[in-house]
Amino acid sequence: MRILFAGSEVTPFSKSGGLADVAQSLPDALHRLGHDVSVITPAHRSVFLTDHPIEPTGIPFDVPIGNKIVSGRLLRARSESGVPTYFVDQPEYFDRAELYREAGRDYDDNCERFTFFCRAVLESARLLGGHFDVVHANDWQCGLIPAYLRLEYAHTRGYESIASIFTIHNMAYQGTFWHWDMLLTGIDWRYFNWKQMEFYGQLNLLKTGLVFADRITTVSRRYAEEICESPLGCGLEGVLQHRKHVLHGILNGVNYDDWNPETDPRLARRYSIDDWASGKAENKRRLQEELGLPTLADVPLIGVIGRLADQKGWDLIADVIGRWASREDAQWVILGTGERAYVDLLGQLAAEYPGRIAARFAFSEPLAHRIEAGADMFLMPSRFEPCGLNQLYSLKYGTVPIVRATGGLADTITDAAPEHLEAGIANGFSFEPYDVASLDETLTRACGVYRTDRPSWRRLVEIGMRQDWSWDESASQYVQLYDEALAAKRVPASV
Ligand code: ADP
């Protein structure tokens, strides 16, 4: 099968969150299953800052944007995995310091930038030669792809039988723009209605993707259920209920080439399940040194990494850390970028308790890896979490996750209740109500086991390290879905 995978960010070229990891590792996994996959993404400025050489393809193209014609060209990165990555190069749109927003404000022309990207993806399907079976589009930035495929390309030679898959990585980001941006898309105003592209008077690109795609997926089963209801449907629960028959939850996988303590070049010491206790102790000591924390071996070190956005539960985290720092013997390591208010709040706490809290407000892959290796526990009390990757990385690194049971966190973390420990299925700690008391109680429970019940702790760590959250199973589920979508496309032609 030939698959064109479109995403607005792709590791290692550009990244703001989990989508980038998925856009690299799912195509690789599909390739390993024997499929011919190409990835396509914008040529953001960061693309040219990695040490991967980017080369021209000699393929230029022109697409209509509103009443003008905009030119772009395709670039390409050589791949070690066998999956080529193509970049849509248009410096006016994509040669920018960030991907979507700067200084707390979205770029004003985001609708135009990603309309261009979507049109470029569909043109590329032709320009790259041969026939694609599936276009897999991700998130609002790709929301127009299924619409163009259905409305503009349906009768174009080579496009008639392409199936579109649309994956939701987060319902909270919908790409809503004022109604006049419809003109940029070139799509007829008759589609600007409450059942298709319009949402409370605005153009909504996530909704557009949901309405026109042949199949919809999201990144865990639990989240697939949650988004069909309020509040996690974020206003689009009605659309999702209407399309529930084509909506599937497929859990994201981990790229263990990148996230594996046995091979991770960024660690002070590499380790496996056989020597994790000494390996983690060494990484912990080095992390404490790196971040200026006292090098105490027996004090629990709790890591938190993530976007500084309401979704991730930073209000709970700040509240709990504030209480704990003044009375409990625990160390906290925070890594994140995002909202100013959280930078200020967490920065103040770190300044107040320098021996217990280290906060770094930067995007640093190497430090993220070292925190996973050096921390004893990893905290993720999200308000909602479509899948979540950090808890899965934590399991592999022997770092016990403490999570709120929502979305993918609920699907992957089994609480260390006595019966789960006994059955050998516990791999972390989880709680349900989104409040400080529940988080506080769960942290107390986790630190209690860490300090006083080493056999149970060892069990938890080793169950987690042994689990396999790789892409193998999930990539097969995607292939099944592609097949199903293609078969459904063929039906009208054969009757
Ligand atoms: P989301 O996609 O909602 O941001 P995920 O848990 O699915 O959350 O994925 C987040 C990814 O981004 C993880 O790979 C995480 O390690 C990474 N990440 C987030 N913030 C940072 C940061 N400040 N530095 C390094 N990596 C980060």
HSE value, Cβ hemisphere, 13 Å, CA-based, for 128:
24
Please check whether residue 269 lies inside any domain of the structure: no
Same domain, 483 and 448: no
Residue 310 contacts residue 317 (beta carbons within 8 Å) = no
Q: What was the pLDDT predicted at 415?
A: 98
The alpha carbon of 369 and the centre of ligand 1 are apart by a number of angstroms equal to 11
Q: What was the pLDDT predicted at 495?
A: 43
Same domain, 321 and 421: yes
Same domain, 282 and 229: no
| Whether the CB of 364 sits within 6 Å of ligand 1 | yes
pLDDT in tens, the chain (495 residues): 999 999 999 999 999 989 999 999 999 999 999 999 999 999 999 999 999 999 999 999 999 999 999 999 999 998 888 899 999 999 999 999 999 999 889 999 999 999 999 999 999 999 998 899 999 999 999 999 999 999 999 899 999 999 999 999 999 999 999 999 999 999 999 999 999 999 999 999 999 999 999 999 999 999 999 999 999 999 999 999 999 999 999 999 999 999 999 999 999 999 999 999 999 999 999 999 999 999 999 999 999 999 999 999 999 999 999 999 988 789 999 999 999 999 999 999 999 999 999 999 999 999 999 999 999 999 999 999 999 999 999 999 999 999 999 999 999 999 999 999 999 999 999 999 999 999 999 999 999 999 999 999 999 999 999 999 999 999 999 999 999 999 998 875 544
The alpha carbon of 448 and the centre of ligand 1 are apart by a number of angstroms equal to 28
- Give strand pairing partners of 415: 428
Same domain, 104 and 242: yes
Same domain, 301 and 437: yes
Exposed (0-12), middle (13-18) or buried (19+): which is 448, by Cβ within 10 Å? exposed
Same domain, 291 and 409: yes
Same domain, 244 and 300: no
Same domain, 92 and 147: yes
The alpha carbon of 306 and the centre of ligand 1 are apart by a number of angstroms equal to 5
Same domain, 476 and 459: no
Instruction: Give nearest CA residue, ligand 1 atom 22.
Output: 363
> What is the CATH number for 437?
3.40.50.2000
| Whether the CB of 390 sits within 6 Å of ligand 1 | yes
| Full domain range(s) for residue 342 | 276-468
The alpha carbon of 19 and the centre of ligand 1 are apart by a number of angstroms equal to 9
Residue 252 contacts residue 22 (beta carbons within 8 Å) = yes
Same domain, 16 and 142: yes
Same domain, 216 and 288: no
CA dist 154 and 149 (Å) reads 6
Q: What was the pLDDT predicted at 494?
A: 47
Q: What was the pLDDT predicted at 440?
A: 97
Which of 363, 383, 391, 403 is the pocket-test mutation for ligand 1 (most atoms within 8 Å of CB)?
A: 363
Please check whether residue 393 lies inside any domain of the structure: yes
The alpha carbon of 452 and the centre of ligand 1 are apart by a number of angstroms equal to 32
Which of 11, 304, 305, 361 is the pocket-test mutation for ligand 1 (most atoms within 8 Å of CB)?
A: 305
Please check whether residue 95 lies inside any domain of the structure: yes
| Whether the CB of 363 sits within 6 Å of ligand 1 | yes
Q: How many domains does the chain have?
A: 2
Six-digit token string for 183: 């003109």
| Whether the CB of 389 sits within 6 Å of ligand 1 | yes
Instruction: Give nearest CA residue, ligand 1 atom 2.
Output: 18
Please check whether residue 270 lies inside any domain of the structure: no
For residue 16, which atom of ligand 1 is closest to its CA?
A: 12
Please check whether residue 76 lies inside any domain of the structure: yes
| DSSP class of 34 | T
Whole-number CA gyration radius for the chain: 23
Q: What was the pLDDT predicted at 385?
A: 98
Q: What was the pLDDT predicted at 79?
A: 80
For residue 169, which atom of ligand 1 is closest to its CA?
A: 2
Please check whether residue 134 lies inside any domain of the structure: yes
Please check whether residue 495 lies inside any domain of the structure: no
Angle at 365 (CA atoms; ends 364, 370), nearest 5 degrees: 100
Same domain, 328 and 436: yes
Residue 439 contacts residue 431 (beta carbons within 8 Å) = yes
| Whether the CB of 336 sits within 6 Å of ligand 1 | yes
Contacts of 132 (CB under 8 A, 6+ apart): 2, 3, 4, 125, 162
